[in-house]
Amino acid sequence: MTTIFTALNTANTALGSDQIVIETIGHNVANASTPGYSLQTANLQAAPPYTVPSMMRPTGPGQIGTGVQVTTIGRGRDALLDGQYRYENQFAGQYATLDAQYTQLQGILPEPSTTSLGARLSNFWNSWQALADDPTNAGARAQVQQNGIALASTLNSDAQQLAQAKQTADSYVSQDVTTINNIATQLANLNSQIAAISASSQQPNDLLDQRDQLLDQLSNIVPITYTVQTTGTVTVNLATQVPGSTALQVARPSEAPLVSGTSTNLLVAVPMGVPTYADGNAYMDPVLFPTQPAPIGGTLGSAIQLRDVIIGGTNGLQSQLDNVAKTLAQDVNVQHALGYDANGNTGKPFFNVAPPAASLSAPFSNVATVTAANITVDPAIVASAQAIAAASAANAPGDGSNAQAVSNQRSTVGAAGSPIPGLTLEQGYENIITMLGANAQLAHNNNQSQATVMQSLTAQRQSVGGVNQDEQMTQLIQFQHSYEAAARVVTAVDSMLDTIVNHMGLGN
Amino acid sequence: MRITPITIGNDIIFNLENTYQTIEGIDRQLSSGKRINRPSDDPAGTAYAIDMQASDDWNAQYQSSSQSALTWLQSTTTALQQLSDVALRARTLAVQGSNDTNTLSDRASMAQEITQLVQQVVQIGNTTFAGNAIFAGQQVQTTPFNQQGGYAGDTGAITHQIGPGYSMRVNADPTTIFTGTGGIFNTLTNIAKHLNTGSTFTPTQNTGTETMSLTGNYTGTAANYTVQVTSVSASGVITGIQYSTTGGAPWTPVAGVGSPPTFNLGSGMSASFTNGAVSPAVGDQFNISATGPGLASTFGIQATKNIGNEQVTLTNAGTLPGNPTITVRAAQLDPNNNVIGVQISTDGGATYGPTVTANEVVPPSELLSYNAITYAGPTTNYEVRVASVGTSGAPATIVYSTDNGVTWSAPVSSTGSPPQFMVNPNIGVTFGSGTAQVNDQFTFTASAGGAAQNIQGMSALPFPTTTTFNGPGDVKISWGQSSVNAGLVVTNNDTFTYTPPSTGLNSDLAALDAVISKLAGQEAQFGAQANAVQANVSQLQSVDLQVKTALSQDADADIAALTTQMESAKTVYEAALAVDAQSIEPTLIQFLH
């Protein structure tokens, strides 16, 4: 048999639940724009009804409800979407870095332009032909001299900027390693708090949001795999391998997960050449990268790729630019050494080749030590343009045939085994630009399309966990009215009690 | 799908970002005017643009090379045309000169004009443009030809590349036109020489072969020196010379100093001699063309009369029938070494005719008589010549000869009165009235075993410095001293040869025709090359246009299309802003009052 106080109690549960709901709504509205925040929902459930079945239960209608209770504070989150988001996020990080870096690299070789290497090459060859037409003209000689110096210094400065870009990429690697370690430490810290709260069967929603956000950040830097344990902690593994062995390498002391419970296995950025793994193997997750070796993703992966492959690789920009310098020095020197300068000297190089040549011809083709960074015009020619060998015979001031022969080197196709086989120097350079442009275009397009993917995933995550103020307001009105209604019930019961206590029975 | 304001916000930001990128892309193209601003805008297009730009530069260079080639070719063609004009004028003169009706002085003036033409050829040969000598091979900075036609250049080719694999030689080989046996210099010099041989004989004997060289720094002005040998020692060393800057008197005698002797010519210039195969002789002569202050060793030296100082000229040669080659040699000399008899050969000196003596006439006023003494000797021709004249005007001494003047007796003084000169113990000669002069000469014949009689008197004129002889036909041969005569040395058999001008000129004309046709050929070749280069230039220009068009299409921004795109992007942007502002503004919160 229920008493009148039962009704009062029932209304009371409604008041309490509505208050929790409204508090949750307040929390949601307050955090509507907080990064990483996910929508919280107070899950309501009808309280256990009266009476429970028993032998002694009172007769009459039943069961009678006893009100409402808040079971859990739910969190708008989709683990599958999160996994997808973090998988795609590594590519977002990778492509964004590559896109930005390629823009910079294209700035180093700003083609097409009238001042960059391509134009300098063209000017250089043309000035040789102009000299061939008028070898006694001091202006034509000075033109060859100055264009040679400009060409060499353009190569020098391009090489220097490439080296700078490589160093920048190297500093990104150590920065990223530091960031990864920071995040890992925070994750371990959160793990311990979350485990403590989960043990008391409560949901640490806001801590979980923080953790998810750290995982989002981490997945942008480096590909990860993670598992949420039954204790509520998360175990994080790096899905990565370390390619190459140049400059800074990313290494861990052991193959233990990056974060496991409250313990971390931090990365170290070690100088190149130091052995990294005890087993000597690259470490990678076979799920994400089924074949070896695979490029690593994330901003870290792209920084390493930039440093070790795109700029510094065996086929990287530095080596390709060096090939241009080597071919230039060889083509020009060999022909130049065959000619005679205005003073009747022969067998001299045009571009300085170290170590200094001992005899004619062959040593000038020994351009192994020539790079884009160190190529210079021979000091004798820098000192006087008269040292340019325009003639094919001694004391033939009107003869420009050797200058013509040098100019014709522009059409000479590199022999098999030479730095630029099968192509002319200019074609070789165009190839570099085409490859650079195509890769930059690919990186940009990848970045664009990845941004769309991320946008779509973000929208989906928002759809699950985002705060809609209108929705919250509607709920607020709803629960405000619910609260008012419950209060009304209390008032009614109060009135009933007043009737019972003050106006029933005894005549007074 | 559930949408939250954050989603809308993200969408707006994402889409506005995209619109920004579109606008930025269009703006970059519009502001730079280039469709491709960095390789990633169009990787293949960038390579194409670099390639096209290089082609364009290359093309421009070929055009500039073509223009340079054209200038060379046109300068050369012009110079060749001038040379042709010179050669044609020389041909006219040579044809005229080979005509036998010309007088000697006509020929001499023609030779003079040819000499001027040679100077013109030197000038054309030294043509320069832009500081480069065009007829010097690769020695473009030298002055290739000196006044004597000596060549200081080489045969090197100057080639211009005016297109891919299209090279062209733009200079002529001067040695095929100017120098060498068939060259224009040699041909013109021969013509001048052959025209001149009409007036003077060429010495063929009595030639020393010594050479002269100059040392010192000449400080004087430009002048023509004549140097003549005046004494030679027994060992053949020249011990004295004289020089003149006027072509003759006054002479300045100089003695040699040192061994070998060096002769000071004044103004800092010295001369020394080196003997050749034939020893030097007195009268050997050199001409020096001093060109003004400078190194004396660079002056031109020409051995002009490296012979005995006599000179033989010919008059009326222009009318000599058949223009044969005439060789004249001295056959009879008087005691002063004057030539009084010559022998003439018309077969190049193989056989000589009889001695021809000067055709003099004895004036009637000075007659010779003889003393009638019995003469027992053989029939003899006597020649008597006045050796000295007394104060009264009558001969004081005489000399006589019985071998037609080849050897002469010692001077004979007169005996008795009236004066009588004994030329034989039995023959005395007595002069008649009139004033005698040295070298007046008479001949008579003493008949065997009889009285000296039948004396024939001859001219009493003074023996001339230049003696004229009758040559074949009406040709007169004059044998005498040159105007620079000093120390005349003549011996018997000194020989001179006259070659008629037409003989040499005919072969000269053939050589000149070869030169003219060579010039015409070269002219045609260079003209054709110039045409080819011009065609090449217009082809390069049309290629240039195509390359530029292709480059423009590839790399230049399409302003019209971009402007349209920009307008539409702006519209999208503005519409998005307007709609976004509307959609975000009202929320439920505003309605809860």
Dihedral sign computed on CA atoms, order A370, A375, A381, A385: positive
A211: its two tokens = 């953790």
CB contact under 8 A, B39 and A109: yes
Same domain, B148 and B261: no
Are residues B209 and B190 part of one domain?
no
Contact at 8 Å (CB) between B28 and A93?
Answer: no
Report the CATH number that the domain containing residue B124 is assigned in CATH: 1.20.1330.10
Environment class of B211 (CB within 10 Å of its CB; exposed 0-12, middle 13-18, buried 19+): middle
**Closest chain B residue to A131 measured between Cα atoms?**
B65
> Do B381 and B405 share a domain, yes or no?
yes
Mean pLDDT of A1-30: 89
Same domain, B191 and B208: no
Within a domain: B111: yes
- Give the best residue of B4, B20, B21 to mutate against chain A (max A CB count within 10 A): B4
- Return d(Cα A58, Cα A75) in angstroms, integer: 41
Give the integer Cα–Cα distance in Å for A101 and A94.
11
Looking at the fold, whether B224 and B304 belong to one and the same domain comes out as yes
End-of-domain residue from the set B308, B333, B351: B308
Which residues, at least 6 apart from B517, have a Cβ–Cβ distance to it below 8 Å?
none
User: Of B10, B58, B555, which has the smallest distance from its Cβ to A459's Cβ?
Assistant: B10
User: Do B587 and A469 lie within an 8 Å CB cutoff?
Assistant: yes
Report the amino acid identity of residue B198. Answer: G
Closest CA to A350 of A406, A423, A408: A406
Helices B184-196 & B104-125 angle (0-180, nearest 10): 160
Chain A hits for B62, Cβ within 8 Å = 129
Structure tokens at B170: 């733009």
Q: pLDDT value at position A54?
A: 74
Decide if pLDDT at A361 tops 50. Answer: no
The predicted-structure confidence for A415-471, as pLDDT tens digits, reads as follows 777 788 888 888 899 889 988 999 999 999 999 999 999 999 999 998 888 888 888
**Residue with the larger pLDDT of the pair A321 and B5:** A321
B215, B302: one domain? yes
**CB atoms A436 and B42 under 8 Å:** no
**Cβ B589–A399 below 8 Å, yes or no?**
no
Three-state secondary structure of B204-217:
CCCCCCCEEEEECE
pLDDT of res. B222 = 67
**How high is the pLDDT of residue B74?**
92
Instruction: Indicate which of A399, A472, A481 best probes the interface with B, i.e. most B CBs within 10 Å of its own CB.
Output: A399
Confidence of residue B189 (pLDDT cuts 50, 70, 90): confident
Alpha-carbon distance of A154 to B65, in angstroms, equals 27
Test B2 with A469 for CB contact under 8 angstroms: no
The token pair at A262 is: 């409250």
Pair B76, B186 in one domain:
yes
- Prior bond of B462 cis (ω within 30°): no
**Chain A contact probe: residue of B1, B40, B59, B533 with most A CBs at under 10 A:** B40
User: What b/e readout covers A149-164, taking b as 16+ CB neighbours within 10 angstroms?
Assistant: ebbbebbbebbeebee
> Where is pLDDT greater, at B17 or B250?
B17
Instruction: State the nearest Cα–Cα gap between A352 and chain B, in angstroms.
Output: 26
* Same domain assignment for residues B217 and B187: no
Measured distance between the N- and C-terminal CA atoms of chain B, rounded to whole angstroms: 29
Q: By CA distance, what is B159's nearest residue in A?
A: A401
Residue B353 lies in a domain: no
Mean pLDDT, residues B313-322 taken together:
52
Lowest-confidence pick of A165-174, A275-284, B44-53? A275-284
Mean pLDDT, chain A, rounded, equals 83
Q: Given B274, B293, B308, which residue is the final one in a domain?
A: B308
pLDDT value at residue A277: 35
With a cut of 90, say whether residue A189 has pLDDT above it: yes
User: Which of A357, A353, A361, A355 is CA-nearest to residue A337?
Assistant: A361
Domain identity same for B66 and B191: yes
- Which of B3, B60, B589 is the closest to A463 by Cβ? B3
Q: What pLDDT, on a 0 to 100 scale, did the predictor assign at position A503?
A: 85
ipTM score over 0.85, yes or no: no
Residue A454's closest chain B neighbor by CA? B14
Measured between beta carbons, the chain B residues lying within 8 angstroms of A102 are 40
Q: Return the HEC string of A179-230.
A: HHHHHHHHHHHHHHHHHHHHHCCCCCHHHHHHHHHHHHHHHHHCCEEEEECC
Reported as a single tens digit per residue, the pLDDT across B121-137 is 999 999 988 888 999 88
Secondary structure letter of residue A357 according to DSSP: P
Q: pTM of the prediction?
A: 0.66
**Facing residue for A110 by CB, picked from B6, B38, B157:** B38
Q: How far is A407 from chain B (nearest CA, A)?
A: 10
Which amino acid, one-letter code, is at B239? T
Question: When comparing pLDDT for B304 and A125, which is higher?
Answer: A125
For residues A206, A208, A209 and A210, what is the CA-based torsion angle, rounded to 10 degrees?
90
Distance CA B230, CA A100 (A): 101
In this structure, the strands spanning B326-333 and B339-345 are antiparallel
* B255 domain-assigned: yes
Same domain (yes/no): B375, B405: yes
How far is residue B200's CA from residue B483's CA, in Å, rounded to a whole number?
A: 14
Q: How far is CA B53 from the centre of its chain?
A: 52
Looking at this protein, which amino acid is placed at residue B199? S
Question: What pLDDT shows up at residue B319?
Answer: 46
Residue B52 lies in a domain: no
- Cβ pair B91, B506 in contact under 8 A: no
- Interchain contact, B2 vs A466, CB within 8 Å: yes
The answer on pLDDT for B477 being more than 80 is no
State pLDDT tens for residues A204-243.
Answer: 999 999 999 999 999 998 888 888 998 889 998 876 544 4
Q: Mutate which of B13, B61, B139, B589 to test chain A, going by most A C-beta atoms within 10 A?
A: B61
The single-letter code of the amino acid at A134 is D
Candidates B188, B187, B229; CA nearest to B208 is B229
Is residue B254's pLDDT more than 70? yes
Tokens of A254: 């052991």
Closest residue to B131, CB basis, from A126, A136, A440:
A136
Which residue of chain A is at minimal alpha-carbon distance from B48? A430
Could you tell me if residue B322 is inside a domain? no
Residue A417 burial by Cβ neighbours in a 10 Å radius (0-12, 13-18, 19+): exposed
pLDDT at A366 over 70: no
Asked if residue B194 and residue B224 are part of one domain, the reply reads no
What residues of chain A lie within 8 A of the CB of B16, using their CB? none
Q: How many domains does chain B have?
A: 4
Among A264-268, B149-153, B430-434, name the one with the lowest average pLDDT.
B430-434
| pLDDT averaged over every residue in chain B | 75
Q: Which residue out of B7, B18, B20, B50 would a mutagenesis test of the A interface target, given it has the greatest number of A Cβ atoms within 10 Å?
A: B50
Q: What is the pLDDT of residue B318?
A: 46
**Res A158: pLDDT:** 92
Query: Given pLDDT bands bounded at 50, 70 and 90, which one contains residue A286?
Result: very low
Q: Do A32 and B54 touch (CB under 8 A)?
A: no
Give the chain B residue whose CA is nearest to the CA of A438: B43
- Taking an 8 Å cut-off on Cβ atoms, the answer to whether A463 and B131 are in contact is no
Query: pLDDT value at position A389?
Result: 92
Whether residue B194 sits in one domain with residue B73: yes
- Residue B277 domain boundaries: 203-308
Decide if B566 is inside a domain: yes
Angle at B16 between CA B10 and CA B22, to 5 degrees: 140
